[in-house]
Amino acid sequence: MSMGGNNNPLLTVSWDEGSGSVKLIDQTKLPENLEYIICNNHNQVADAIKNLSIRGAPAIGVAAAMGLALCAVNDNSANKKDLLSSLETAYKILLQTRPTAVNLKWGLDKVMEETGKHETVQGIKENLVKLVKEMSDDDIQTNKNMGRFGSNLIDNGDVIMTHCNAGALATVSYGTALGVIRSAKDSGKKISVFATETRPVMQGSRLTAFELVHDEIDVSLIPDTAVGHLMANNMIDKVIVGADRILKTGHVFNKIGTYQVALLANSHNIPFYVAAPLSTFDLEQDDPDKIVIEERSVEEVVKIGGKRIAPKGVRVFNPAFDLTPPNLITGIITEKGVLKPPFEKSISEAFGIDEQAGL
Ligand code: MRU
């Protein structure tokens, strides 16, 4: 079984043509069981995003778009105005599922934009289904392009550290950070990976380790607390992580713990790369303090694998993401190439924005 696009790759999220539903791998069941959730309406997609059955910024972007397309397909409105009103309600429900990953809004906005281009209810429904299937194909192609650019940064024999899961399971397939690793391996380089377990939800041990073991990529799992020790002992050549939101200043929001990894990499002179598609960039915001960092439930921290490990009554703070400032980042790998500091300039160029004119 390959998650990497070699033999019959698994799709994290797909539009099921026959039944007109959205099919998701239930990531809460991994690695023990590979089970799917079939969503027949947008509320089920919203629930799946909220409870992390589907997670990872690009995957939730495509899933949310498919959820909104489902709303359109299921809707019985006789005219565009009524259909739009149903879509606006579903848009709000889907948008508030998770606040930090900007791909969620990107995916939903693409659906609304497409809706605006068509006049008839039938035309909207058909074109939204076409759009979300294209978004799914584009995501895979984007990751492969990103992988090719990122692979040029990797040397034969490199030992790469990654945090959380920025792999096939965080995208439609192939992955961002893990896509770079897949691509480097496919180009004949010998690569090995250290994956942090990523408390509290264990995306590293449950998901990254799962997909790398499946693709026969050399992976060792470490406790989050071992990062500094490995770096101090020259065991890591490069770090590659994903992102949930990148501001035009190059500030990167990603899974909690990324900032610590970046700081440690910086103090040990280890290159720290972020791999993310252009859909993860938030060009509307340049103030990191304005970005909402999702806080998740107490349960995630007081329990491991469903078993309580902390005393009842303890106060818990559970931020799901943190901010890595641009001065700790060596480069941002995108489908358009590797962006280098100063990021304000390289990000503007990647988007074809004229900085002087502020366009
Ligand atoms: O809470 P999660 O599992 O959705 O967080 C995921 C991450 O932080 C990933 O690193 C990020 O979404 C990039 S995925 C390509």
90 near 99, Cβ under 8 Å? no
Distance CA 101, CA 99 (A): 6
Give the Å distance between the CA of 67 and the centre of ligand 1. Answer: 19
Q: Tell me which residue of 184, 144, 179 sits closest to 165, measured CA to CA.
A: 179
Q: Report the 10 Å Cβ neighbour count for 40.
A: 15
Measured by CA distance, the residue closest to atom 6 of ligand 1 is: 56
Give the Å distance between the CA of 348 and the centre of ligand 1. Answer: 24
Question: Which of 169, 203, 280 gets mutated to test ligand 1 (max ligand atoms within 8 A of its CB)?
Answer: 203
Tokens of 37: 């959730």
List of residues 6+ apart from 108 with CB closer than 8 A: 64, 65, 68, 91, 94, 95
70 near 180, Cβ under 8 Å? no
Pairing verdict, β 192-196 and 159-162? parallel
Helix (H) or strand (E) holding 128: helix 121-151
From residue 200, alpha-carbon distances to 34, 220, 227, 255, 318 in Å are 21, 19, 16, 10, 8
Q: Is the CB of residue 176 below 6 angstroms from any atom belonging to ligand 1?
A: yes
Q: What is the mean predicted confidence (pLDDT) over 295-300?
A: 96
Q: Tell me which residue of 49, 43, 50, 36 sits closest to 68, measured CA to CA.
A: 43
- Encode pLDDT of 124-165 as tens digits: 999 999 999 999 999 999 999 999 999 999 999 999 999 999
Distance CA 231, CA 227 (A): 6
Q: What is the mean predicted confidence (pLDDT) over 111-126?
A: 97
- Encode pLDDT of 20-77 as tens digits: 899 999 999 999 999 999 999 999 999 999 999 999 999 999 999 999 999 999 999 9
Give the Å distance between the CA of 320 and the centre of ligand 1. Answer: 9
Give the Å distance between the CA of 21 and the centre of ligand 1. Answer: 24
**Cβ-defined contacts of 88-95 (< 8 Å, 24+):** 90/42, 93/42, 93/43, 93/46, 94/42, 94/45, 94/46, 94/49, 94/64, 94/67, 94/68, 95/64
pLDDT for res 4:
43
Tokens of 303: 């329990």
Distance CA 86, CA 174 (A): 34
Distance CA 269, CA 328 (A): 10
Q: Is the pLDDT of residue 208 over 50?
A: yes
Split at pLDDT 50, 70, 90, the class of 17 is: confident
Q: Is the CB of residue 258 below 6 angstroms from any atom belonging to ligand 1?
A: no
Q: Is the CB of residue 255 below 6 angstroms from any atom belonging to ligand 1?
A: yes
Split at pLDDT 50, 70, 90, the class of 357 is: low
pLDDT for res 6:
44
Which of 173-182, 240-249, 274-283, 349-358 has the weakest average pLDDT?
349-358
Atom of ligand 1 nearest to the CA of 175: 15
**DSSP category for residue 204:** I
| Mean pLDDT score across all residues of the chain | 95
Q: Tell me which residue of 276, 214, 219 sits closest to 8, measured CA to CA.
A: 214
Q: Is the CB of residue 171 below 6 angstroms from any atom belonging to ligand 1?
A: yes
Atom of ligand 1 nearest to the CA of 177: 15
- Encode pLDDT of 184-205 as tens digits: 999 999 999 999 999 999 999 9
Given the residues 75, 244, 282, 322, the one annotated as active site: 244
Distance CA 192, CA 236 (A): 10
105 near 95, Cβ under 8 Å? yes
Atom of ligand 1 nearest to the CA of 171: 15
Q: Is the pLDDT of residue 8 over 80?
A: no
Give the Å distance between the CA of 166 and the centre of ligand 1. Answer: 6
Q: What is the mean predicted confidence (pLDDT) over 1-15?
A: 67
pLDDT for res 47:
98
pLDDT for res 5:
40
Token pair 């792999």 is found at 167
Q: Is the CB of residue 56 below 6 angstroms from any atom belonging to ligand 1?
A: yes
Q: How far is CA 268 from the centre of its chain?
A: 27
Q: For 119-132, b where at least 16 C-beta lie within 10 A, e where not — what string? A: eebeebbebbbebb
Distance CA 248, CA 268 (A): 27
Q: What percent of the chain has pLDDT over 70?
A: 96
Split at pLDDT 50, 70, 90, the class of 7 is: low
Give the Å distance between the CA of 53 and the centre of ligand 1. Answer: 12
C-alpha angle 91-35-52 in degrees, rounded to nearest 5: 40
- Encode pLDDT of 73-107 as tens digits: 999 999 999 999 999 999 999 999 999 999 999 99
Q: Is the CB of residue 170 below 6 angstroms from any atom belonging to ligand 1?
A: yes
237 has catalytic annotation: no
